[in-house]
Amino acid sequence: MDYSREALDEQATGDDPMHFFMKWFSEAESAQITEVNAMTLATVDADHRPHARIVLLKGADERGFSFFTNYDSAKGTHIAADPFVALLFFWKELERQVRIDGRIEKLPAAESDEYFYSRPVGSRLGAWASPQSREIPGREVLEQNYERYQKEFGENVPRPPHWGGYLVVPQRIEFWQGRSSRMHDRISFSRNEDGSWKRCRLAP
Ligand SMILES: Cc1cc2nc3c(=O)[nH]c(=O)nc-3n(C[C@H](O)[C@H](O)[C@H](O)COP(=O)(O)O)c2cc1C
Ligand SMILES: Cc1ncc(COP(=O)(O)O)c(C=O)c1O
């Protein structure tokens, strides 16, 4: 595969990488890419070993990038031990990659509530039924848990205390645009001490 769709120059990215991320994100949405918000989340465990999995981006604003999960999951345990994480998007139809490194924190409970109560009842029950990342003897455990919580809560399924959002506060954001002959464009932003951003170009 030789990439040839378009170029990315420094000026085009502007001074604010969050702003530019939103632009690329809406272009990916307009390009009808399925699961455009699917991103790889990398964490490290207490022994410094890396782990990666897909999660869904549910918010991006001037603070950073948010997603929702089980705080008691493997990723939640890693994050509690080491708050440095990486996110990765690959939008192959646009020949684009976005790499994000940063520090992660829990979203305020009110924001987790707001998102949780927007989810379908079935997914809310799923959050109770699944002890995420734990070994279970068989699928029937999930089904039994699901039925049990369905009986207990009916249509009013509260947010489990172990389920909520995280916010990744970016320290570095890199925009990668594929170019011909592997001579890709890479524009990288690093956060300065005062919160402003330093922009540079990296060799591909
Ligand atoms: C397309 C896709 C989207 C997913 N979105 C989420 C998500 O937003 N939150 C989540 O907890 N798991 C999500 N998962 C499941 C995770 O990839 C993973 O299996 C789960 O979170 C357990 O990871 P852990 O054991 O490393 O904590 C998604 C999986 C896929 C394939
Ligand atoms: C286990 C799990 N939790 C959370 C999510 C987040 O997405 P949603 O809130 O749309 O269910 C997903 C998406 O696939 C998921 O698989």
What is the rounded CA–CA span in Å between residue 69 and residue 57? 11
Neighbours of 140 (CB within 10 A): 9
pLDDT at residue 148, rounded to an integer: 98
3-state secondary structure of 49: coil
Q: Which of 94, 80, 89 is nearest to 41 (CA)?
A: 89
What is the predicted pLDDT for the residue at 4?
94
Question: pLDDT class for 114, splitting at 50, 70, 90?
Answer: very high
* CA 75 centroid distance within chain: 12
Q: Which residue's C-alpha comes closest to atom 7 of ligand 1? A: 55
CA–CA gap between residue 7 and residue 97 (Å, rounded): 13
Confidence band, pLDDT 50/70/90 cuts, at residue 108: very high
Average pLDDT over the chain reads 98
Percent of the chain with pLDDT over 90: 100
Tell me the C-alpha distance between 18 and 114, whole Å.
23
Domains (ranges, CATH) in the chain?
Answer: 10-117+161-201 (2.30.110.10), 119-158 (no CATH)
Confidence of residue 153 (pLDDT cuts 50, 70, 90): very high
Token match 């829990």: residue? Answer: 106
Burial of 111 (0-12, 13-18, 19+ CB in 10 A): middle
Write the pLDDT tens digit of every residue in 20-39.
999 999 999 999 999 999 99
With cut-offs at 50, 70 and 90, classify the pLDDT of residue 61.
very high
Complex-level ipTM beyond the 0.90 threshold: yes
If you measure from the C-alpha of residue 2 to the centroid of ligand 1, how many angstroms do you get, rounded to a whole number?
A: 31
Closest ligand 1 atom to the C-alpha of 73? 27
Residue 54 banded pLDDT, cuts 50, 70, 90: very high
Which residues participate in the annotated binding site for substrate?
A: 58, 115, 119, 123, 182-184
Structure confidence at residue 201 (pLDDT): 98
In this predicted structure, what is the pLDDT of residue 173? 98
Determine if ligand 2 sits within 6 Å of the CB of residue 123: yes
